[in-house]
Amino acid sequence: MPELERHDTIRAVAFDGDCLRLLDQRRLPFAETHLECRSADDVATAIRDLVVRGAPAIGIAAAWGVVLEARRLAVAGKPVSPETLEPVLQRLNTARPTAVNLAWALARMRGAIAHLSHDSVAVLTAEAQAIQDEDLAANRRMGELGAQLLGDGIGVLTHCNTGSLATAGFGTALGVIRAGFAAGKITQVYAGETRPWLQGARLTMWELVRDGIPAKLIADSAASHLLRSGAVQWVIVGADRIAANGDAANKIGTCQLAIVARHFGIKFMVVAPASTVDMATSDGTQIEIELRDPAELLGFGGQRTVVEGADAWNPVFDVTPAGLIDAVVTERGVIEHPNAVRMRAVFAAGSA
């Protein structure tokens, strides 16, 4: 098996013709179970409840949700048209607010709906499959481009989960790490635990261990100490939305990593597909940041850990200013020291 394929063995989103099978990320790493979605509402609930997460994977799942609705209408003998599908497009679009890939994928499906032929289900199925296939190809390209920026024998720190679980496969930031390890450039990976859902601890470590990549988990609060130690030369993260000036929204805690990395002279890379770039959003202050249930912070594993009567504030994303980013990597190329001019040179307005 080629070296890269040995480190790319996971597929979290699969459509089998009758249903969408999602690897239930809430139950990893101890149980590998799949949730079967047979309707668009099932998909919207799965997105909202974090069965499937990661900006590209959310968009892919939503596209298949549109296919499921078209199949339901066709079986019921109802017309499959822009009018009948628009309500489900809107329901899917509201499932998670921060990741631009969700709206992007649904816009692609809306475009296909506008040109439906007599075989509408086949047309929509082909479009959803194209979205998924293009994401996998983009991830492999980003892995190649990002790995070229790395030195030899380095350590890297990543945050949240940006691997096969968050995409069609291979991953964005984790794709760069996979490619860098396969090329012999990366010798050690560190993953932050990513409170409160522990995506780094539960998901990223599961992927790295499964694919034989040397990895160590750290507490989120240990990151500054790690970066000061000299063990890490690059921080490599993903993004859920990148604004026109290069500001990047990612899992909460990312911005503080960028600040510390800059202080200690460590490079900071953001890796995301072109579908994550939102040229209609001028800067990071315009990005809606999702607030989730405070209860996620007030307990652990179903057990309350904070005194009754306490409250919590639970934003799940933050925005890293472009000035703290050394490189944005997309399948269209590498943008070093991103700013509005450099972003515009690669992404024409409205290209997201």
Catalytic residues: 240
Q: Residues 6 or more apart from 209 whose CB is under 8 A from it?
A: 215
Other C-beta atoms closer than 10 Å to the C-beta of 321 total 17
Q: Which amino acid is at 266?
A: I
C-alpha dist (Å) from residue 202 to 174, 192, 195, 223:
15, 10, 11, 18
Residues 6+ apart with CB under 8 A from 101: 55, 56, 58, 59, 240, 273, 275, 276
Q: What whole-number distance in Å separates Cα of residue 70 and Cα of residue 51?
A: 22
With beta carbons less than 8 A apart as the criterion, state whether 248 and 269 touch: no
At residue 331, the 3 state secondary structure works out as: coil
Place of tokens 């579908």: 275
**H/E element, 89:** helix 82-93
Q: CA gyration radius for the chain?
A: 20
Q: How many residues does the chain have?
A: 352
Greatest C-alpha distance within the chain: 65
Find all residues with CB under 8 Å of 147, minimum gap 6, and list them. 176, 179, 180, 183, 185
Distance CA 147, CA 177 (A): 7
Instruction: Report the alpha-carbon angle 125-129-133, nearest 5.
Output: 170
Do 44 and 91 contact (CB within 8 A), yes or no?
Answer: yes
Task: Write the DSSP symbol of residue 288.
Answer: P
Q: Are 322 and 246 in contact (CB under 8 A)?
A: yes
Distance CA 78, CA 81 (A): 9
